[in-house]
Structure 1
Amino acid sequence: MTSATDFIFEGSTTTNEQTIQQGTFTWSAPSNIALVKYWGKKEQQIPANPSLSFTLSNCKTITSLSYFKKEEKGIAFDLLFEGQPKEEFKPKIQKFFERILHYCPYIADYHFTIDTKNTFPHSSGIASSASGMAALAMNIMSLEKALHAEMTQAFFLEKASFLARLGSGSACRSVVGSVVVWGVQADVKGSSDLFGIEAPFDIHNHFKNYQDVILLVDKGEKQVSSTVGHDLMHDHPFAQERFKQAHQNLSRLKDILQTGDLNQFVALVESEALTLHAMMMTSMPYFILMKPNTLQIIEKIWAFRAKTEIPVCFTLDAGANVHVLFPENNKDAVLAFIREELSEFCQNEHFIEDKMGTGAVLIK
């Protein structure tokens, strides 16, 4: 079994590190949407329960990492968001570099310029920290690969997911695969708390190229950050039952994804979404991230599904926005429904059409 110490960089046997003086890498990494949710974590971004997610395709972060070797050792970087300095993002990146320094000591030798942009609104509940930290981790690993040419691709991806997790837990699910499991789960071979893995089982055709339309109910900053929310699970009266339920639901969802049972998929995914928000509403202090329009959308989806028998369902992340999930062959009918009945509940009638993707991509 892989341990964290396996990811400590100890130098290369084949590459002269003095020759890597400067360069630039660019990666894109997608957002992801958890179907079985993780809520609550231990030290070092270890999840309190396992999760399973669909990787997205269109909602992504594109990050360039330029670097040059410097004289003095230490963490040093500039941060640009959409080409402009973004000072308020720097503390999170600083903390990330501090966390990974033990595993990537070479970062102290370089000055970095990080230039990043999203294809979707930042901090609006579309897991921008997940895609952002995953893209940054892929760039860091490209530098490590340059320093250590004999690295295997499997190790590259595992460590990238491991590093991404130290920036934002769910970022480890944005590195590879369409369906990703993160967290130790007895009936998922190779599952780990340290990194996400591509689901090691066959996915039924019903779930291939599954669609996700994200209804942007509220594009503003969340009132309560996910970090604060996770911390409130430590003394939560229902935490232990929730963690047990997540294991059971992941086993059930694993079977559903293999058998193609769309009705069971709908029931489990919606239950998981509402359970996540129930945990928020029953913590102390309690909080509500859903908005009135979130509830209006949910009720409309239920009515539409009952009327048409189309297996469309919703899920929610830690925010007010609604992810509308459905099979590709129902796309025309569901998109018409969204335009005619749901878009009015979105901020400026804005929604994003997305679908399952396959993970991070090297651009340069």
Structure 2
Amino acid sequence: MNTDQFLAKSQLKPIDKASFTWQTPSNIALVKYWGKSNPQIPKNASISFTLHNCHTITTVDFARKPHSELDLESEKVVTFNLFFEGKQKDDFKPKIAEFFKRIQTYCPYIFEYKMTINSENSFPHSSGIASSASGLSAIAMCLMSLEKELCAELSTEFIHKKASFLARLGSGSASRSIEGPLVVWGEHSEIEGSSDLFGVQFPYKVHSVFENYQDVILLVDTGEKQVSSTVGHKLMINHPFAENRFKQANENLGTMSKILQEGNIKDFISLVESEALTLHAMMMTSNPYFILMKPNTLEIINKIWEYRSAENSAICFTLDAGANVHVLFPEREKEKVNEFIKNELALYCDNNQYLCDQVGVGAKMLLNERY
């Protein structure tokens, strides 16, 4: 794997101050990845819908350190403060510090600046939406905006590729939050340009039925997960079904590629739901085993199945590593399905909470200021 392409140029033109704000989305995987090796390399390829409304907005203010501090080569440290929704969040800092440690080879300029990071989500924290995906991808885009100022020759294509590469080192799924509407992460023989190092836009023409696809996220449980995704991934190392699962996922991605191009909605439903349940089956058969679904998760799944049969609908569900349910359906069914969700499925949500979303296009710059 060639990571040298992501090393920063040795000759960078320094600037004293800059501020960048990016809005980057979460995403929901259709074919899941569960299991990875260092450094953040997936055991199988995955594909996701990029979301539109569920996003993180992050501002990073960069202030160059005084020369007296820069001269202390033996004491190189990454200096940053972190604020989440207006409040200092020191408990978030270890994860971000680890992220900076992983990327320092590729972004050595981070030692030269004091950074102030301000982030906010458009969705409730710990709501089961991939906030690490949107959060880390936003920081990565801010870093690449700085790198662009330091080295003006960088192309947009390279910036997106390196941002995905960097984001992956903080959170694997964050590699899929730079672009959209469909992103593949993980090397796959049937996906041109795919890589374990970064996400790529699905490279083939997608059938019109999947345009503006809808995703309503039902917030069944807004509490902290009993087992983190990081721990869950590690449990795949000695999992008795791991190798078969990795093979199955890669085969499913090949099948999903054809489905997306041909527009076979029935096969889409079957594969997406099977992937969701297989993900949770891996959790329930690991050692130690655990269950992240809640009783209301199952109630919602059964209600969706009943509705789909009765209404001849294309509605289906998928799950992340949590209890909440993503309800997926074509735009043509939006009005009718939203009524069904409001009248019947919201009852199973924590305080009747749910979020209406749809497929989006990726990261968006909101502010670029150089002083």
Task: Verify same fold: TM over 0.5.
Answer: yes
Structure 2 counterpart of 1:338: 341
**3-state SS of 1:176 partner:** coil
- 8 Å CA contact 1:28–1:360 kept in 2: the answer is yes
Q: What secondary structure sits across from 1:30 in the alignment? A: strand
For residues 214 and 177 of structure 1, the distance between their equivalents in structure 2, rounded to whole angstroms, comes to 19
| Cα shift readout 1:78-103 (whole Å, capped 9, x = no counterpart) | 00001110111000010000000011
Tell me if the contact between 2:13 and 2:151 (Cα under 8 Å) persists in the aligned partners: no
Deviation at 1:62, TM superposition (A): 0.3
Are 2:40 and 1:41 aligned? no
- CA offsets per residue over residues 96-122 of structure 1, 9 Å max, x none? 000000110000000000000001122
Letter matched to residue 33 of structure 1: I
Give the structure 2 partner of residue 16 of structure 1. 13
For residues 1-364 of structure 1, the aligned pairs below 5 Å read 3-12=2-11, 16-17=13-14, 20-71=15-66, 72=69, 73-364=76-367
CA contact (8 A) 1:32 1:130 kept: yes
Distance, in Å, in 2 between the alignment partners of 1:196 and 1:29 is: 14
Q: CA deviation at 1:10?
A: 2.7
Instruction: Give the 3-state SS of the residue equivalent to 1:24 in structure 2.
Output: strand
Q: Following TM superposition, by how much is the alpha carbon of 1:177 offset from its aligned partner in structure 2, in angstroms?
A: 1.7
5+ residue gaps, structure 2, are 70-75
Looking at structure 2, the residues matched to 227 and 121 of structure 1 have their Cα atoms a distance apart, in angstroms, of 21
Could you list the per-position Cα deviations for residues 191-221 of structure 1 after superposition, in whole angstroms to 9, with x for gaps in the alignment?
Answer: 0000000000000000000000000001111
Counterpart CA distance in 2 for 1:124 and 1:235 is 29
Report the count of equivalent residues.
359
Identity value in percent? 59
Deviation digits for residues 241-260 of structure 1, max 9, x if unmatched? 00000011001110000111
Residues 112-147 of structure 1 deviation map (CA, whole Å, 9 limit, x = unaligned): 000000011223321000000000000000001100
CA-CA distance at 1:265 after TM superposition: 0.4
Separation in structure 2 between the aligned mates of residue 74 and residue 339 of structure 1, nearest angstrom = 51
Given that 2:56 and 2:121 are in contact with CA atoms closer than 8 Å, whether structure 1 keeps it comes out as: yes
The answer to whether the 8 A contact 1:273-1:316 is kept is yes
Contact persistence 1:124–1:222 (CA under 8 A): no
For the residues of structure 2 that align with 1:144 and 1:175, how far apart are their CA atoms?
16
- SS for the counterpart of 1:26 is strand
The DSSP-based 3-state class of the residue aligned with 1:144 is helix
Task: Give the conservation status (yes or no) of the 8 Å contact 1:58–1:119.
Answer: yes
Counterparts of 1:320 and 1:36, CA distance in 2: 18
Which secondary structure state, in structure 2, belongs to the residue aligned with residue 44 of structure 1? coil
Q: Output one character per residue of 1:171-204: Cα deviation in whole Å (capped at 9) or x when no partner.
A: 0000012000000000100000000000000000
Q: Distance in 2 between matches of 1:34 and 1:139?
A: 24
8 Å CA contact retained: 2:25, 2:53: yes
Mapped partners of 2:127, 2:168: distance in 1: 20
Distance in 1 separating the partners of 2:59 and 2:268? 38
State the Cα deviation string for residues 245-288 of structure 1 (Å, max 9, x = none): 00110011100001111110000000000000000000000000
Pairwise CA distance, 1:350: 0.5
How many Å separate the matches in 2 of 1:123 and 1:244?
Answer: 31
Deviations 1:223-246, CA, capped at 9 Å, x for gaps: 100000000000000000000000
Contact 2:83/2:119 (CA < 8 Å) preserved in 1? Answer: yes
Unaligned runs of at least 5 residues, structure 1 = none
Letter in 1 for 2:124: P
* Partner secondary structure for residue 289 of structure 1: coil
Partner SS for 2:162: helix
Aligned structure 1 segments of 4 or more residues deviating by more than 4 angstroms: none
Partner letter of residue 211 of structure 1?
A: Q
**Separation in 1 of the partners of 2:133 and 2:180?**
15
